[in-house]
Amino acid sequence: MSEIIEKFEPLFNPRSITFIGASASPEKWGSIILSHIITGGFRGKVYPINPREKEILGLRTYPDVEALPEPPDLAIFVIPSSQIPSVLEDCARKGIKAGIVITAGFAEVGAEGEKLQQEIVRIARESGMILVGPNCFGIISRPCSLSTTMPPLYPKQGPFAILSQSGNVAVTIAHKLIDKDFGISRLISYGNEADLHCEDYLEYLAEDTETKVILSYVEGFKDGRKFFEIAKKVTRRKPIVMLKVGYTAAGARAARSHTSALAGSDTTFDAACKQTGIIRARSVDEMSDIGVALLNQPLPKGKRVGILTAGGGLGVLAADACAYAGLNVAHLPEDTIGELNALLPPWWNHDNPVDLAAGAFGTDAVKAIEALLRCHSIDGMILLNLIVALPINIGVLFRDDLASGSVPQEKLRAFEDGMGQLFDQLMALVTKYDKPIIIATELESENIDVKAKKMAGQKGLAYYTQPDRAALVFSRLAQYAEYLRNLSPCSPSAP
Amino acid sequence: MSEIIEKFEPLFNPRSITFIGASASPEKWGSIILSHIITGGFRGKVYPINPREKEILGLRTYPDVEALPEPPDLAIFVIPSSQIPSVLEDCARKGIKAGIVITAGFAEVGAEGEKLQQEIVRIARESGMILVGPNCFGIISRPCSLSTTMPPLYPKQGPFAILSQSGNVAVTIAHKLIDKDFGISRLISYGNEADLHCEDYLEYLAEDTETKVILSYVEGFKDGRKFFEIAKKVTRRKPIVMLKVGYTAAGARAARSHTSALAGSDTTFDAACKQTGIIRARSVDEMSDIGVALLNQPLPKGKRVGILTAGGGLGVLAADACAYAGLNVAHLPEDTIGELNALLPPWWNHDNPVDLAAGAFGTDAVKAIEALLRCHSIDGMILLNLIVALPINIGVLFRDDLASGSVPQEKLRAFEDGMGQLFDQLMALVTKYDKPIIIATELESENIDVKAKKMAGQKGLAYYTQPDRAALVFSRLAQYAEYLRNLSPCSPSAP
């Protein structure tokens, strides 16, 4: 076990925890959060601390930390901020190695809080304890089924780590992933980052074998230089997608009153991202959408994108969005045009975007996709209006059932089977040509979109509804690929 | 009936139509589109033309236009482009007043097609016939239940008109509205706009009493000067939200091969929008989201926005997005701070965004919303994390049911009832203070989001999931309001 993994073991893999501030009143956070730890199915012992109750939520309580039968690995604090220093001293004496301070009322509220915050950092550091927070939701660690978040959140285990200064934003990111049926390895809401900083967690996540992609929300840095030094090492091993706020004066003011963060210059941050391979996102939606594509799609070897559409307008939207995002809507070479001539009706537009022009369906549409992927002038594809490539009779879809709002079950099944087959074909092409396919399509209703999106994700495809989103995602993948290509080949961990 | 309404009567309110190119083969467009006209429940007579069949889809066919028992109001063409001129001559002789040419293969394919297109315009104009298309999906006119689109689309009647150069984009916009449970007055896919131009439809929609908001997708203008002259008159009466593509070289190239459109300079277009009150959107999602807010929310009287959040991170995201969109995240005056002090816990942040900081729920949260709306330094609100303002026991939600993925029916009903009550309260506040409330919230799952979004729309609220979308919508409303305020007061139709 590496030094960094060992340091974080009591936090992310505790054998036992003590919950300081357990409450018997169901409307109090001291009851709600404890109930989430229990419902989440934490795989270790839980010792609630409460001087008045004998039992809370079916667990035996203890009057104080001193009274615990063993030193637990992790202490979670939900008591008022002013009481934390003395209890933290008790924890240190007991030999507890990690703490999560969920309570707010520290540096974010002014000078008094700042003093209190310095005090808890001093106590923790003197005793060799690591501290998450204060002013946070704490963590989720799926391998040991630990969830300390304020809203209930028990995602399945998966490849995404969420590292967020804000608890609510962390939960919002998690919901985006859960809705697409993806799992989470670790979620960290670190709030004021008094002891452990953003870059400490990042160092851990780089070595964490459960984590493949890191999604990070940041309001400000305690030590920007150190953060970027570490980030530069991490992005060689796994991608970091970052949403950094405070890029306007109003946002910076809000960040300061939220987690006492100093947002800093946005231009400097942007330059630092480019130099360290961090992929920047501008919203939570963008972040999760980029993350999903990074997981299973190969990185494009250049910025030349092929667009296949059924319907010219969507093609125009996509061409604009691609060029706007810095991609090259490449002209097609003669041999590719020739291949497409054999598949498409004579009136097709002979250019990229390739418009099937209501004249190629099913197998022919898939063959056109393959012709584009095979093309040496194309580094990857954006695929619009997927419905025409389904390997089932188009009549099943282009008729009255979907429009009438009630699709008979057997047709829905045929549709889903067809969709599944198509996704398998597409992923086989992705693997064969080692080029990404980014889908931007809308089906006949939002509910069917949700279903198709989940299925696509399970098969490894990146699936969105809007052409501009697909273009943005493709461009971020291309930028990250370019960054990795330009890394010094002498570097030991360069790919 | 005004001259313009009368001119378009045979197109949007035909008593009878002839369908030229009816087919008995279910996979042909001549069968598919005809079936959509029938399924859509068109409230007039339909005369299919086919020289070989006696009956198609249960309708008696006629060998040619000449043989029809009466001159129908509208002719729909699905025959090959080369055959259209002669049949159009027949239609003119028969006294038909309007035509829709769905067939492609005109100016968008080159010089030959351009000649053919000039020919059909000449025939139409000489006979006083109006022509939609060619190279389009045709129209939907809900008051007479006419749908000529290639995919099946029978939206309910409602206040949105969709005016789109692309058929597929028109359908995509329609789906966005249908998913939010909104209705459509007219949908026009006008393709190559050979005879009738974009501005002609716009003139009609301005006078159309069924239409309250116009959503328009444009690839290029035939007569930009005339278009903007008309648009300037229209925006005084009802808003136009426009998505104009071809703003990059790649997009302009794609537009030319799609509908032979010349995209023109984007800077010029942008300036013209500002001068004529057109609200510009950058994607289909943006367009429908702005449209929905225009429908029922009052226009803000300035750019000062109040943000209410439960969770600081979402507040920071919103503050950044508002400032970025040109809005002013106003400081709060002392009296508003005082009102909020009485409602919120002592540790609240005393600034805008107002963070309820996990300390005010239900009625108190709604009172805080009212305090902000009443504030003289605020022109409207963005409301984040709505869940805390629900008038039901927060325990119903913040517990394990939603997280476990299966919500008992009675809890779901309680949740929906609570949501409905809250939406009513919010709309009452909007009316009382004549200031908009824009919601950006995510609930516990995508399915519940979809439900809440529909319910909010039915109550007249503008409901989104992302703070940046809410900020963008608010800013577009504020820009339109500013444009209307700055109109010369001498102008007879100024508001």
Whether B319 and chain A come into contact, CB under 8 Å, resolves to yes
**pLDDT at A407 (0 to 100):** 67
Residue A480 pLDDT > 70 = yes
CA distances from B373 to A213, B308, B438 (A): 42, 10, 12
Contacts of B152 in chain A (CB under 8 A): 398-400, 402-403
- Candidate from B170, B347, B444 with C-beta closest to A105: B347
**pLDDT at B266 (0 to 100):** 85
Picking from B332, B322, B309, B352, the residue whose alpha carbon sits closest to that of residue B476 is B322
**pLDDT at A494 (0 to 100):** 40
Q: pLDDT for A51-66, tens place per residue?
A: 999 999 999 999 999 9
| E strands in A71-147 | 74-77, 98-101, 130-132, 138-141, 146-147
Distance from C-alpha of B416 to C-alpha of A297, rounded to nearest angstrom: 39
Whether B310 and chain A come into contact, CB under 8 Å, resolves to yes
Radius of gyration of chain A measured on its C-alpha atoms: 26
Picking from B456, B387, B384, B382, the residue whose alpha carbon sits closest to that of residue B424 is B456
Confidence of residue B371 (pLDDT cuts 50, 70, 90): very high
More confident residue, B240 or B27: B240
Confidence of residue B33 (pLDDT cuts 50, 70, 90): very high
Tokens linked to B487: 């109109």
Contact across the interface for B249 and A323, Cβ inside 8 Å = yes
Q: pLDDT for B37-70, tens place per residue?
A: 999 999 999 999 999 999 999 999 999 999 999 9
Residue A188 pLDDT > 80 = yes
**Residue of B102, B216, B320 to mutate when probing chain A, most A C-beta within 10 A:** B320
Confidence of residue B258 (pLDDT cuts 50, 70, 90): confident
Whether A145 and chain B come into contact, CB under 8 Å, resolves to no
Whether B466 and chain A come into contact, CB under 8 Å, resolves to yes
What ipTM goes with this model? Answer: 0.87
Q: Which DSSP helix (H) or strand (E) runs through B88?
A: helix B84-94
Exposed, middle or buried: residue B342 (CB in 10 Å: 0-12, 13-18, 19+)?
A: exposed
CA distances from B249 to A315, A320, B54, B281 (A): 13, 8, 51, 19
Contact across the interface for B349 and A247, Cβ inside 8 Å = no
Residue A217 pLDDT > 70 = yes
**pLDDT at B264 (0 to 100):** 77
Nearest chain B Cα distance for residue A328, angstroms: 8
Residue B345 pLDDT > 50 = yes
- Beta-carbon pairs below 8 A across chains A and B: 237
Q: Which DSSP helix (H) or strand (E) runs through B435?
A: none
**pLDDT at B108 (0 to 100):** 86
Whether B293 and chain A come into contact, CB under 8 Å, resolves to no
Confidence of residue B180 (pLDDT cuts 50, 70, 90): confident
- A140 Cα distance to chain centroid: 14
Q: pLDDT for A293-344, tens place per residue?
A: 999 999 999 999 999 998 889 999 999 999 999 999 999 999 999 999 999 9
More confident residue, B451 or A456: A456
A-proximal residues of B, 48-67, CB under 8 Å: none
Q: Considering only A254-258, A407-411, B274-278, which range has the smallest mean pLDDT? A: A407-411
Distance from C-alpha of A325 to C-alpha of A319, rounded to nearest angstrom: 10
Residue A495 pLDDT > 50 = no
**Cβ neighbours of residue A411 closer than 8 Å, sequence gap 6 or more:** A396, A401
Q: Which DSSP helix (H) or strand (E) runs through B48?
A: strand B45-49
Contacts of A104 in chain B (CB under 8 A): 347, 357
Nearest chain B Cα distance for residue A297, angstroms: 24
Whether A251 and chain B come into contact, CB under 8 Å, resolves to yes
Q: pLDDT for A141-185, tens place per residue?
A: 999 999 999 888 999 999 999 999 999 999 999 989 988 889 999
Confidence of residue A108 (pLDDT cuts 50, 70, 90): confident
Tokens linked to B196: 């009738």
Contacts of B167 in chain A (CB under 8 A): 311, 313
Tokens linked to A456: 């696509």
Contact across the interface for B314 and A168, Cβ inside 8 Å = yes
Contact across the interface for B319 and A179, Cβ inside 8 Å = no
Whether B286 and chain A come into contact, CB under 8 Å, resolves to no
Residue A43 pLDDT > 80 = yes
Whether A156 and chain B come into contact, CB under 8 Å, resolves to no
Residue B477 pLDDT > 90 = yes
CB count in 10 Å sphere of residue A345: 13
Q: Considering only A344-353, A372-381, B196-205, which range has the smallest mean pLDDT? A: A344-353
Distance from C-alpha of A46 to C-alpha of A55, rounded to nearest angstrom: 12
Q: pLDDT for B86-142, tens place per residue?
A: 999 999 999 999 999 999 989 988 899 999 999 999 999 999 999 999 999 999 999
Q: pLDDT for A354-412, tens place per residue?
A: 998 767 778 889 999 999 999 999 999 999 987 777 776 545 454 455 555 566 777 77
Q: Which of A230-244, A252-266, B413-427 has the highest mean pLDDT?
A: A230-244
Confidence of residue B495 (pLDDT cuts 50, 70, 90): very low
Contact across the interface for A165 and B283, Cβ inside 8 Å = no
Residue B393 pLDDT > 80 = no
CA distances from B12 to A317, B210, B239 (A): 28, 12, 21
Contact across the interface for B316 and A251, Cβ inside 8 Å = yes
Confidence of residue B451 (pLDDT cuts 50, 70, 90): confident
Q: Considering only A436-440, B234-238, B250-254, which range has the smallest mean pLDDT? A: B250-254
**pLDDT at A398 (0 to 100):** 44
Residue showing tokens 């004579």: A346
**pLDDT at A444 (0 to 100):** 62
Whether A198 and chain B come into contact, CB under 8 Å, resolves to no
Contact across the interface for A254 and B105, Cβ inside 8 Å = no
CB count in 10 Å sphere of residue B493: 8
Nearest chain B Cα distance for residue A447, angstroms: 8
The DSSP bridge pattern shows strands B55-56 and B59-60 to be: antiparallel
Distance from C-alpha of B434 to C-alpha of B298, rounded to nearest angstrom: 6
Contact across the interface for B165 and A313, Cβ inside 8 Å = yes
Whether B259 and chain A come into contact, CB under 8 Å, resolves to yes
What domains can be seen in chain B, in order of their start residue? 1-137 (3.40.50.720), 155-296 (3.40.50.261), 298-483 (3.40.50.261)
Q: In chain B, what is the greatest distance between 2 CA atoms, to the nearest angstrom?
A: 84
* Closest residue in chain B to residue A353, using alpha carbons only: B254
Residue A273 pLDDT > 70 = yes
